[in-house]
């Protein structure tokens, strides 16, 4: 099994690039059928989602669609108190629009729930969430996910945009941590 070491941890090949591509292709096909004519605004949540967003957006086959890139500001204060992260960098007026949030991964669901709440305050027509990966066993919130790529176990992974302490985002495949 192909392995990679990042910082102090070992990871092994978990999901191939080919598998990711075929899953993203299916997600795009669904969106092509369901979102055409809606002039959707895709919102890529940086940093992790940039690879997924690129793979997906190039497969959207209608021209009337836009993409924008936003970030969540770092925690101010203590993470354990559930301090809200502010969505920054959104320059578009989303009032009355169909917004499709692009996430690399949903695990606890706290972040995506928070993003949805912030966006809904801006009076969009609808906020749809598309996530490349989902860890169902990690969910702590009942979140409404419209497009889900692959459900995975609750193990730490890297690659295809996902990092371990800044490294590993460039890996073309997804790797899972080796448990000794
Ligand atoms: N790896 C990297 N980043 C993450 C993960 C993961 O497994 N889950 C949530 N963010
Ligand atoms: Mg990260």
Residue nearest to atom 1 of ligand 1 (CA): 157
Report the pocket of ligand 1 as residue ranges, CB < 6 Å: 105, 107, 156-158, 162-163
- 107 has pLDDT over 60: yes
pLDDT over threshold 70, residue 83: no
CA angle 122, 50, 17 (to 5 degrees): 135
Please determine, for residue 76, whether its predicted confidence score (pLDDT) is greater than 60: no
Return the percentage of the chain with pLDDT > 70, whole number: 95
Among protein residues, the one with the nearest Cα to ligand 1's atom 4 is: 162
Residues within 5 A (CB) of ion ligand 2: 163
Across residues 63-91, what is the average pLDDT?
81
Tell me the residue length of the chain: 180
Show me where the domains of the chain are located.
18-154
Q: What digits encode the pLDDT tens for the residues 165-180?
A: 999 999 999 999 999 7
The ligand minimizing its distance to the Cα of 105 is 1
31 C-alpha to ligand 2 centroid (Å)? 26
Give, in degrees to the nearest 5, the angle at Cα 111 between 115 and 53. 70
**Other C-beta atoms within 10 Å of 49: how many?**
26
Q: What is the pLDDT of residues 120-141, one digit of tens each?
A: 999 999 999 999 999 999 999 9
pLDDT value at position 60? 98
Residue 55: which residues within 8 A CB-CB, separation 6 or more? 20, 21, 24
CA distance 132 to 123: 26
The 10s digit of each residue's pLDDT in 45-70 is 999 999 999 999 999 999 999 999 99
107 in catalytic set: yes
Residues 62, 129, 146, 55: is their CA dihedral positive or negative? positive
In this predicted structure, what is the pLDDT of residue 50? 98
- DSSP letters of 76-92? SS-GGGTPPPPEE---S
Average of per-residue pLDDT values in the chain: 94
d(CA 52, CA 125) in angstroms, rounded, equals: 24
Class of domain 18-154: alpha beta
User: Hey, how many other C-beta atoms are within 10 angstroms of the C-beta on 1?
Assistant: 7
Give, for ligand 1, the residue of 46, 162, 163 to mutate: max count of ligand atoms closer than 8 Å to Cβ. Answer: 162
- In this prediction, residues 94-111 reach a mean pLDDT of 97
Give SS3 for 105.
strand
Q: Give the Å distance between the CA of 140 and the centre of ligand 2.
A: 18
Catalytic residue (choose from 8, 78, 104, 107): 107
**Rounded Cα gap, residues 33 and 20, in angstroms:** 20
Q: pLDDT category, 99, cuts 50, 70, 90? A: very high
C-alpha of residue 163 to centroid of ligand 2, in Å: 5
Q: What is the pLDDT of residues 11-25, one digit of tens each?
A: 999 999 999 999 999
């Amino acid at each position: 099994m192909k392995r990679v070491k990042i910082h102090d941890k070992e990871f092994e090949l978990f999901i191939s690039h080919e598998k990711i591509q075929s899953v993203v292709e299916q997600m795009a096909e669904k969106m092509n059928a369901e979102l055409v004519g809606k002039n959707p605004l895709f919102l890529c949540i940086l940093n992790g989602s940039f690879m997924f967003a690129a793979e997906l957006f190039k497969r959207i086959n209608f021209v009337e669609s836009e993409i924008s890139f936003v970030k969540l500001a770092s925690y101010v204060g203590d993470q354990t108190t559930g301090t809200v992260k502010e969505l920054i960098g959104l320059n578009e007026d989303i009032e009355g629009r169909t917004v499709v949030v692009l996430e690399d991964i949903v695990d606890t669901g706290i972040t995506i729930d928070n993003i949805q709440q912030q966006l809904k305050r801006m009076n969009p027509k609808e906020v749809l969430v598309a996530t490349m990966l989902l860890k169902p066993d990690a969910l702590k919130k009942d979140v409404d996910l419209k497009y889900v790529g692959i459900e995975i176990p609750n193990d730490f992974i890297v690659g295809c945009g996902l990092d371990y302490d800044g490294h590993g985002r460039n890996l073309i495949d997804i790797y899972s941590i080796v448990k000794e």
